Structure 1
Amino acid sequence: MARLYEYQGKQILKEIGVPVPEGGVASTPQEARQIAERIGKPVAVKAQIWATGRFKAGGIKFANDPDGAEKAAEELLGAEVKGFPVEKVLVEERLDVDQEYYVGVIVDDSYKVKGPVVIFSTEGGVDIEEVAETSPEKVSRLNVDIFHGLRLYDAYNLALEVGLKGALLDPIGRAIRGTYELFKRCDARSAEVNPLILTADGKVYAADCRVSVDDASVVRHPELGITVPRESDSPPTEFDQMAWKIEEKDYRGVCFLVQMTPDTEEGGYIGYHAIGGGGALLAADTLVRHGLKLANYADTSGNPTAAKVYRCARLILSQPGLEGYCLLGAVIASQDQWHHAHGLVKAFREELADRPGFPVVILIAGNKEKEALEILREGLKDLPIRLELYGREYIHKLDFVAERMKALVEEYQIEEA
């Protein structure tokens, strides 16, 4: 699922009518200072990253004046917080907090629900799972009928169920309904306001916001600026963006390709290419258990074209410092494997002619397996590479294949040294 940054979610909440703290997003310390000057009161400077627990990790700083805001932004921008590079900060007014609540909307895929579920809790700022386990009386939930949506009285009832009443009922109820509208507007899989804040002067604000957008619906939302609509714990690298271009407008089969590390130049990494989701994970685990380091993770399944396989293989081989290429199709695939063979031959002939001794191990099984292996054998026989080909009799012998890959890599390393 693609994710939005906090400031993006808050912008949409503001459009919907849910109050958010006054503020703005900054990419430089000078911009942070200007925003703080405009606010004219103490501010919070918050690193914009895809992670929770920012405060404990030093990703949220407080400042009493524009000078302090500029200094805080200078410390955060360009730094790493919880492993994420900080490219933007949100500068917003610091709230005088009296009470924290939680509002969330998720998609429940269970057969009993198969729809959105709205969750509200009188205890915010912590994991809702923890609250539900230790204090279930503080949590209310409602399965939403998608034909009617979440009506305002539904939101009121969620708040009433956990003991809210009086003057708070209306602003809290509207914030709950607004969070559902955010979820719906973004075609989200989940949307959270945690915490929803009640200030000392009785006002309600969305103090934080997290949204995960359904990958398949990103095409409907160019305004969100999502470049790679895939689930990830970190922003896409340049490699990831190039990998997505293979898939973006070509729906013939699947090419899932992500970078595992951008630092392959240090050596010891191989390019990893697999066929078949579960088998791909099993094969990757086998290679790692045998001491091999994977520069990337790739899976070309669903009967992709030779052109798609070719583009995938070329991008894998573009990673600097690779010391091998391993394709493990650890399944009897119900797809014509000669398309893989044609794509691989073209990519290898273009990329490996000047890499003598480069190790290539391929395990491929399924429809047209015999023809695929023959295409690979004939198409690559004059390349100066270490090539080993395996068929269906080896899909249950992955440890052996992994050991062969490791041995070839070690031979190559000795030669290169």
Structure 2
Amino acid sequence: MSVIAEENVRGGSVFKEISADDEDNQPTEIESLCMNCYQNGMTRILLTKIPFFKEIIISSFTCPNCSWSNTEIQSAGRIQDQGITYTLNVKSKQDMNREVVKADSATTRIPELDFEIPPYTQKGSLSTIEGLLDRAVAGLEQDQPLRNATAPEVAVKINEFIDKLKKLKEGESGFTLVIDDPSGNSFVENPFAPQKDEALSVSHYKRTPQQDAQLGIKAEDEEEKPSNDIDSMRNEVLTFNTNCPECNAPASTNMKLVQIPHFKEVIIMATNCDDCGHRTNEVKSGGATEELGTKITLHLTDLSDMSRDLLKSETCSILIPELEFELGMAAVGGKFTTLEGLLKDIKDLIVSKNPFTCGDSSTSDRTEKLKLFGQKIDKIMAGDMDVHIVLDDPAGNSYLQNVYAPDPDPEMTTEKYTRTFEQNEDLGLNDMKTEGYQE
């Protein structure tokens, strides 16, 4: 870690982009003990950058004496603002080939077998679903000789359970795979991108104080600081220190409470990095969750629609029915931008920043499909494609400018609806008690 700190002080970075032509970005070799035969082997460590994962540390160990090998991957980037849960219904043999990034802090569960791999019991890995099952089987089989000698009954039950895992790997029956990562740095591949994957559901959540303590963000006994008075925030810009999401250098974030005409108050946060020049902004609602959800549908009929102001909260989903495209809540965070700016963000997220469009993860069919999707987004921004944009926000905190105000907009409809139980669950409203909570 001292080497990393020294490089950052000098303004450089030990994390280099992946490139076959970069002779400087070579792995560091360290002689280390083999935990299989207890003789010396070789560990190779590479600090690099790959799409989506930002900075990572890849380590690989090989032993020339017993041929035992092991690989690990660790995130060296920042912890995400929210935790993430992936729920995948594995129905076919093809699903076993989905690529999975599992961080150290992630919990892996298979509800049908009442099976769970707790966090921090395995190192982070870049694998497939089949690889996760193989790793679980290998872990259970590791101590079986000892169990056969000391606890035969337990060994028999574990053998039965191992057989169940192997049957799942062979695709004899479907099952549900749940990966819950409070750090937000795990990932499950969507092979149908940019279309929605019906078998995969992704949900973001706010971490508990206990999860923050596990991740080292704050101590368990740390008390919450009293919030600032809202009235004092309206006329000032608050600044607090943070780290750049791109280069991890110290940066500052500015926060301001702004009133949007004919709507409500929002909090705008902007981060500027003087080291690498990266800039980012995010918008969060400054008010309460509305009693009803809001669904805004705009029919794009003119190029001037691209300049409409738009507020997308982090709970808002985006749909383009003509492209069979749906972007779930929190995917691009809260945004206060124009319609054109939102479409550019969607294109960057799906096409440019997709980790499965480059390297060993990419396939020609997938790359061509995503390239075609990007061309369709370009046509929409150029006004050459007749589509509808749908903003569906169950919290009711999103907004799209009506250019005909105060008259109704003939190309835009706004629908208020009652949230479902599942939507209230995602927003954390089902367990929220506002009356009689002292009883």
TM range (shorter): under 0.3
TM-score where L is the length of structure 2: 0.26
Larger radius of gyration: 1
